[in-house]
Structure 1
Amino acid sequence: MIGLILIPAFIVWLVISVVISSKIPDWLRIKKHTTAITVLLIPVVLLAPIADEIIGRAQFHYLCKKEAVVWLSPDWKQVNFATVNDDPIAEMHGYIIPIRVQRIEFINSETKEPFLSYKGFHTKGGFLMRNSLGLNFTTSCWPKDSTQILKELNIDQLLKHGK
């Protein structure tokens, strides 16, 4: 259903992009090669509303690949009791789209030292996705092996004994 709404919206935006692209050489008082400039500007103007989405998603996926990993202490086998330190979700800076980070850390109750930690990342996307097209969905990424590692460590049992 949403696709049926987006097709006419795309066609309208395509027409607007062609019109804007054809007017830019006049606005900039360019007299030579106006047709070539117009043709080159059409894809730029067409993609401008979603440029933040394209660049921001690439940044988000790179961040997930690089930093959504599990850190496990070498002495994790000595942990008998654990508590969890679930940091509040924080905004990250320096990215085109808003990205939030959620850090989870498991603490050895006896030594008060962390023995396991990992981060998850969340985004609602670029301007259009956040404000209309995204329907308020969030994309998240977590370390691929975090669930398996938590299961192997029997984290539920460690947390139960740690309280």
Structure 2
Amino acid sequence: MIGMIVYAILGGFILIAVFISNRLVKIFGWSLSPNKLFLLRVGVFFGIFFILFFDHIIGVIQFEYVCHHKATVKLDPDWIKVRRAKFEIKEINPKGYLVPTSCADHNYQDMDTGKIFLSFTQCYRGGGILLETIAFNGDHGGESCVAKELPDILRATNIDALIEKGDSQ
């Protein structure tokens, strides 16, 4: 069923591309050979897809930049002395990006000293206007990123046990 819908949508895009290319030929008074007309139609077809997925393409490029510069992790050398921890999240919305991107600072604080011993930044982005509109399974094509070494650090510090001890006391 989904395949038939996809073929119908592609057929519609092909018809739209043929219509637009025929209009362009009439408006500009071009006399094109069949091969050049075919290439014009193919170009219009891919142009339509580029316009539809423009925000997603830009979002992917932008998100790679954001992840490279903002996704960080900091671990205090004295983390081994921590016995109880408290967890806090602070939302950050970076300005100046075409596709909405948000980041969150995650801070783990030693409850005995009050000092932050582990902090990291995680960033998120949506999938784009078209992907959010046609999402079938609730997945909007968004992404999330953290620093590469974060999973190893969380495993080594056993952060869940520290937070559990902090909540119980």
Which bracket does the TM-score occupy, shorter chain normalised?
Answer: 0.7 to 0.9
Per the alignment, residue 145 of structure 1 pairs with 149
Per the alignment, residue 11 of structure 2 pairs with 11
The TM-score with structure 2 as length reference comes to 0.72
Give deviations 1:113-154, integer Å, cap 9, x for gaps. Answer: 322112223333111111123543143324343232112112
- The answer to whether the 8 Å contact 1:106/1:116 transfers is yes
Match of 1:80 among 71, 79, 83: 83
| Structure 2: tracts of 5 or more residues without a match | none
Change (3 A) 1:158 1:140: same
Instruction: Tell me how large the CA RMSD over aligned residues is.
Output: 3.1
Match of 2:99 among 97, 100, 109: 97
TM-aligned CA deviation for residue 16 of structure 1: 0.6
Q: SS of the counterpart of 1:47?
A: helix
Q: SS of the counterpart of 1:149?
A: helix
- The answer to whether the 8 Å contact 1:21/1:45 transfers is no
Per the alignment, residue 158 of structure 1 pairs with 162
Change (3 A) 1:66 1:2: farther
Per the alignment, residue 61 of structure 1 pairs with 64
**Amino acid in structure 2 at the alignment position of 1:145:** E
| Aligned positions, number | 160
**Amino acid in structure 2 at the alignment position of 1:159:** I
TM-aligned CA deviation for residue 22 of structure 1: 4.0
- The answer to whether the 8 Å contact 2:124/2:145 transfers is no
| Structure 1: tracts of 5 or more residues without a match | none
Change (3 A) 1:108 1:24: farther
Structure 2 distance, partners of 1:48, 1:18, is 17
- The answer to whether the 8 Å contact 2:87/2:107 transfers is yes
Give percent identity, aligned residues only.
26
